[in-house]
């Protein structure tokens, strides 16, 4: 939004408001250029810039696993595992300990989000998620609907909020769904009927190959009929065959059996369909490599076959493979065979049936079959992983061309098997180089996450799928849980701070370390834009602002993000209220001359009175050193005095949130704009440095913690990020 020098203030204001009012329909969104923001996390790790990661690569995309189920599991709790074990470590051996939730399977949080124990329809939290994920460079969130529940209340709330944020002009992640691995039909049809067929929030649909993407096995989406029942699996020996005759009562477009590998990941077999009987006309065949244990293995037919008698045969086994069925004869007009001879019992057969609604669904989406296994990798084209152990596999649509790679924070895997995260041998956040360290070797640096990202960057696919953003809780099982590594108290998918896989910042613990680790690696994957240099102009602190029009660049902030929250939390008693949102920071600029560094900021609407508490604070890292000052900030402006005709500046004391005696500096405010001049001597700048980092914050509560910028008021830029004024080409 350039404002020519010749324009008067009134015209400039009118132009701004016109621009803001038209953002929802603008062809170009409000680009905050978050990839040029800088940040240093609590571990001293700074985000990479363009000179390290290279320019943007628009062909690369990132999605993250997102959970809708918060508040959908009753009103008991919250029960926080980390707090329970801190109170009594022996509780992990006592399933009847009074600190646990009163029933098995009851949800327990592994820790507390920075936003508390929130519910999935808390719009303030959803708004913050939209902003944080967009700032990180995430292109899509994939909702977990793998448990046959679609949580419509939650996805509708998220759709409303993300769409509102988008209409304000901001970039937001788009949406997709990870459906049940084995039986996705119910969930896919619900999503089709409730969301996609109604055309709700079409701008939010994440598209791949030109159509909305859904992670579901297309072979299992259509209407089907299952013949038989699953009781036991019969193994197929080398050089032999297993078969089943059946009579189709309707036309069918696919046929298959449910195969077993007894946990092996290298099994293979050939599936063949004949007309009527063994040795009859061969209608279709498929060699299946890497058979998925206990999954349906299907033959897709080029055209529907008519009702009548058929014979399905399994042959040419590799490793260990078998066919599920029943030792009793349970399939009418069907017969189990072994080496072509009739035997007792029947084998499970599934028929895919033609259905016009299913055809519309299959034509509407781009499907990628989700691979549930952490070890096996793809068993064919058109599959995506969601979580794997290191080294992860490349998933592909075209052989030899990596399309997708999964990256996880941690994995519920131990000893080469799918396990539980309450097993101390599982792959926790500190897992690396093939081993999980003991408590003395665990930290919050994310070595597992880093190792997985290095693998993904080496493969360099088109898409990286990250697990996860905000799962936060898991049900409590007992020692009889059917999972490898179960104990008296068992948690499968989440357990505690080390054995959990969420990136969303937490209260205490690792804080926001994993968020900035995510940001850093997305930058390495997708590239970033170079930081433009400051183009200074002479500035008069007079409250007229025309002289700022030609100053470049313009630093932007999310529109519509001041915090307003009033919503119940988890359980019966929690309620989260925060009404600190006040001035909506929109844009800022910096100029310099031989004596001063000048700062300008603009808000969406007229500024509130300068006498308001915590009004329009400006934090400056003058020496460009995050190790000095509070969070790197050497100077704060407006903390003590801010008014129509002047402000105050304070220098940091000892790196704590403490500041020395205020010094008066010049400032002016009018309408929705504020400008001020900071003497270079006050910043200790005898010569102009290469860069200065800065942040504006309105109504931060001055808690002295980094989370203040995330939880209260409005900060520009968001959270722990800073703007960087590149002064290399500026005046001496």
Q: Confirm if 125 and 711 have CB atoms less than 8 A apart.
A: no
Residue 635's pLDDT band (boundaries 50, 70, 90)?
very high
What CA–CA distances, in Å, run from 543 to 320, 382, 546, 615? Answer: 80, 60, 9, 17
132 φ, ψ (degrees, to nearest 5): -65, -40
Q: Are 267 and 148 part of one and the same domain? A: no
User: Which residues are within 8 A (CB) of 460 and not within 5 positions of it... i.e. 6 or more apart?
Assistant: 402
Read off the pLDDT band of 641 (50, 70, 90): confident
pLDDT at 3: 33
Do the Cβ atoms of 634 and 618 come closer than 8 Å? no
Q: Is the pLDDT of residue 150 over 80?
A: yes
pLDDT for the residue 731: 54
**Whether residue 375 is found in the same domain as residue 465:** yes
Domain contains 20: no
Between β-strands 366-371 and 211-215, what pairing exists: parallel, antiparallel or unpaired?
Answer: parallel
In Å, how far from its chain's centre is CA 420?
22
Same domain assignment for residues 607 and 634 = yes
End position of a domain, from candidates 306, 327, 354: 354
- Domain span at 467: 50-219+359-526
Distance CA 130, CA 123 (A): 10
> Does residue 461 form part of some domain?
yes
Q: Say if residues 718 and 558 touch (Cβ distance below 8 Å).
A: yes
* Residues 677 and 659 reside in one and the same domain: yes
Backbone dihedral angles phi then psi of residue 416, each to the nearest 5 degrees: 75, 15
- From its phi and psi, is residue 517 left (phi > 0), alpha (psi between -120 and 50) or beta? alpha
**694/212 Cα distance (integer angstroms):** 40
The residue-averaged pLDDT of 217-222 equals 90
Asked whether residue 180 falls in the same domain as residue 269, the answer is no
Q: Are 352 and 225 in contact (CB under 8 A)?
A: no
573 burial (CB, 10 Å; 0-12 / 13-18 / 19+) is exposed
CA angle centred on 345, ends 341 and 348, rounded to 5°: 100
User: pLDDT tens digits, residue range 401-410?
Assistant: 999 999 999 9
The residue with tokens 């968001």 is 718
d(CA 354, CA 1): 55
- Tokens (6 digits) for 261: 């590998």
> Does residue 2 fall inside a structural domain?
no
The domain boundary, picked from 316, 337, 354, lies at: 354
Tokens of 122: 């808390």
- Give how far Cα 12 sits from Cα of 15, 608, 671, Å: 5, 20, 11
Q: Does residue 427 lie in a domain region?
A: yes
Q: 230 and 168 share a domain? A: no
CA-based R_g, the chain, Å: 30
Q: Is residue 208 situated within a structural domain?
A: yes
Contact indicator for 135, 37 with CB cutoff of 8 Å? yes
**Distance of CA 674 to CAs 513, 544, 604, 618, Å?**
33, 10, 12, 11
Confidence of residue 571 (pLDDT cuts 50, 70, 90): very high
Query: Confidence band (pLDDT; 50, 70, 90) for 450?
Result: very high
pLDDT at position 590 is 98
Residues 296 and 391 placed together within one structural domain of the fold: no
- Does residue 103 have a pLDDT over 50? yes
Residues in contact with 435: Cβ distance below 8 Å, sequence separation at least 6, in sequence order: none
Q: Answer positive or negative: Cα dihedral of 242, 247, 249, 253.
A: positive
Please name the residues in contact with 696: beta carbons below 8 A apart, sequence gap of 6 or more: 557, 585, 588, 601, 616, 617, 618, 619, 715, 716
Give the per-residue pLDDT at 29: 86
Grade residue 504 by pLDDT with cuts at 50, 70 and 90.
very high
- What is the DSSP track for 206-251? -EETTEEEEES-GGGTS-EEEES--SEEEE--TT--EEEEEEESS-
Please give the pLDDT value at position 643. Answer: 61
| pLDDT, tens only, 172-201 | 999 999 999 989 999 999 999 999 999 999
> CA-CA distance, 671 to 607, in Å (whole number)?
6
Is the predicted pLDDT of residue 128 greater than 50, yes or no? yes
* Contacts with 28 (C-beta within 8 Å, 6 or more apart), sequence order: none
Whether residues 381 and 318 fall in one domain = no
Within a domain: 629:
yes
Give the tens place of pLDDT for each residue, 709-731: 999 999 999 999 999 999 976 65
Distance CA 212, CA 199 (A): 12
Domain co-membership, 201 together with 300: no
Mean pLDDT, range 505-529, rounded to an integer: 98
**Helix (H) / strand (E) containing 174:** strand 174-178
**Cβ neighbours, 10 Å, residue 487:** 17
Residues 520 and 537 in one domain: no
Altogether, the residues listed in the chain come to a count of 732
Is the Cα dihedral 328, 334, 335, 336 positive or negative?
negative
Decide if 42 contacts 512 (C-beta within 8 A): yes
Residue 573 lies in a domain: no
Distances (CA, A) of 344 to 227, 347, 406: 16, 10, 44
Say yes or no to pLDDT of 566 above 80: yes
* Claim to verify: residue 513 and residue 368 sit in the same structural domain: yes
CATH number at residue 112: 3.20.20
Number of structural domains in the chain:
3
Establish how many alpha carbons lie within 13 A of residue 83's alpha carbon, considering only the half-sphere containing its beta carbon: 13
In this model, does residue 433 exceed pLDDT 60? yes
The proportion of the chain whose per-residue pLDDT surpasses 90, expressed as a percent, equals 89
Q: Is residue 574 part of a domain?
A: no
> Of 539, 555, 545, whose CA–CA distance to 671 is shortest?
545
Confidence tier at 72 by pLDDT (50, 70, 90): confident
- 301: domain CATH number? 2.60.120.820
Which among 19, 47, 25 has a CA at the least distance from the CA of 135?
47
Cα-to-chain-centroid distance, residue 548 = 38
Structure letter (DSSP) for residue 628: S
Question: How far, CA to CA in Å, does 615 sit from each of 479, 523, 610, 700?
Answer: 56, 33, 6, 8
Which of 444, 440, 431 has its CA nearest to residue 497? 444
Cα–Cα dist 206/407, whole Å: 19
Give the pLDDT of residue 645. 65
Which of 301, 322, 354 terminates a domain? The answer is 354
**14-28, 49-63, 182-196, 355-369 — which is least confidently predicted?**
14-28
Q: Which of 707, 727, 730, 724 lies closest to 528 in space, CA to CA?
A: 724
Instruction: Please tell me whether residues 547 and 498 are part of one structural domain.
Output: no
């Amino acid at each position: 939004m350039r404002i020519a020098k010749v324009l008067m203030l009134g015209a400039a204001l009118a132009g701004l408001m016109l621009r803001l009012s038209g953002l929802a329909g603008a062809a170009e969104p409000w680009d905050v250029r978050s990839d040029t923001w800088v940040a240093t996390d609590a571990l001293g790790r700074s985000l990479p810039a363009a000179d390290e990661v290279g320019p943007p690569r628009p062909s690369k995309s990132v999605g993250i696993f997102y959970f809708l189920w918060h508040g959908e599991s009753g009103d008991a709790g919250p029960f926080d595992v980390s707090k329970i074990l801190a109170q009594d470590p022996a509780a992990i051996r006592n399933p009847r300990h009074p600190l646990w939730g009163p029933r098995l399977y009851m949800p327990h949080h592994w820790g507390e989000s920075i936003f508390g124990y929130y519910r999935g329809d808390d719009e303030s939290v959803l708004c913050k998620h939209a902003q944080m994920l967009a700032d990180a460079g995430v292109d899509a969130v994939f909702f977990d609907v793998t448990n046959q529940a679609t949580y419509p209340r939650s996805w509708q709330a998220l759709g409303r909020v993300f769409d509102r944020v988008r209409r304000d002009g901001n970039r937001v992640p788009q949406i997709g769904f990870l459906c049940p691995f084995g039986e996705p039909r119910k969930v896919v049809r619900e999503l089709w009927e409730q969301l996609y067929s109604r055309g709700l929030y079409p701008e939010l649909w994440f598209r791949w190959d030109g159509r909305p993407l859904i992670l579901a096995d297309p072979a299992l989406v259509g209407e089907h009929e299952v013949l038989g029942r699953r009781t036991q699996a019969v193994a197929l020996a080398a050089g032999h065959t297993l078969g089943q005759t059946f009579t189709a009562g309707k036309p069918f477009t696919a046929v298959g059996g449910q195969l077993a590998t007894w946990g092996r990941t290298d099994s293979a077999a050939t599936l063949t369909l004949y007309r009527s009987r063994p040795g009859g006309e061969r209608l279709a065949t498929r060699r299946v490599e890497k058979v998925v244990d206990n999954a349906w293995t299907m033959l897709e037919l080029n055209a529907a076959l008519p009702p009548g008698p058929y014979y399905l045969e399994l042959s040419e086994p590799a490793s260990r493979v078998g066919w599920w069925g029943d030792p009793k004869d349970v399939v009418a007009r069907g017969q189990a065979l072994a080496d072509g001879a009739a035997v007792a019992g029947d084998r499970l057969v599934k028929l895919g049936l033609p259905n016009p609604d299913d055809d519309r669904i299959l034509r509407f989406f781009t499907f990628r079959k989700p691979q549930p296994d952490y070890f096996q990798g793809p068993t064919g084209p058109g599959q995506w992983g969601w979580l794997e152990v290191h080294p992860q596999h490349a998933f592909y649509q075209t052989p030899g061309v990596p399309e997708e790679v999964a990256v996880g924070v941690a994995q519920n895997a131990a000893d080469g098997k799918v396990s539980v995260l309450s097993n101390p041998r599982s792959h926790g956040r500190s897992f690396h180089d093939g081993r999980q360290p003991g408590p003395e070797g665990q930290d919050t640096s994310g070595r597992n996450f880093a190792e997985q990202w290095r693998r993904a960057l080496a493969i360099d696919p088109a898409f990286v799928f990250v697990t996860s953003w905000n799962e936060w809780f898991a049900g409590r099982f007992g020692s009889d849980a059917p999972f490898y590594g179960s104990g008296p108290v068992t948690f499968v998918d989440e357990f505690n701070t080390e054995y959990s896989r969420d990136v969303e910042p937490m209260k205490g613990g690792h804080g926001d370390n994993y968020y900035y680790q995510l940001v850093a690696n997305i930058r390495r994957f997708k590239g970033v834009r170079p930081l433009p240099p400051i183009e200074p102009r002479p500035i008069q602190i007079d409250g007229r602002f025309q002289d700022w029009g030609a100053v470049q660049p313009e630093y932007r902030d999310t529109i519509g993000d001041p915090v307003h929250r009033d919503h119940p939390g988890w359980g019966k008693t929690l309620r989260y209220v925060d009404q600190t949102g006040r001035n909506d920071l929109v844009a800022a600029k910096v100029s310099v001359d031989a004596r001063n560094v000048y700062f300008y900021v603009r808000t969406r609407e007229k500024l509130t009175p300068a006498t308001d508490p915590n009004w329009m604070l400006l934090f400056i890292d003058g020496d460009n050193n995050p190790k000095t000052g509070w969070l790197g900030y050497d100077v704060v402006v407006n903390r003590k005095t801010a008014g129509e005709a002047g402000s105050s500046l304070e220098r940091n004391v000892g790196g704590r949130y403490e500041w020395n005696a205020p010094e008066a500096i010049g400032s002016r405010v009018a309408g929705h704009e504020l400008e001020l001049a900071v003497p270079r001597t006050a910043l200790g700048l005898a010569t102009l440095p290469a860069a200065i980092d800065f942040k504006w914050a309105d109504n931060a509560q001055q808690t002295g913690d980094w989370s203040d910028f995330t939880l209260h008021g409005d900060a520009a830029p968001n959270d722990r990020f800073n703007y960087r004024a590149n002064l290399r080409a500026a005046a001496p």
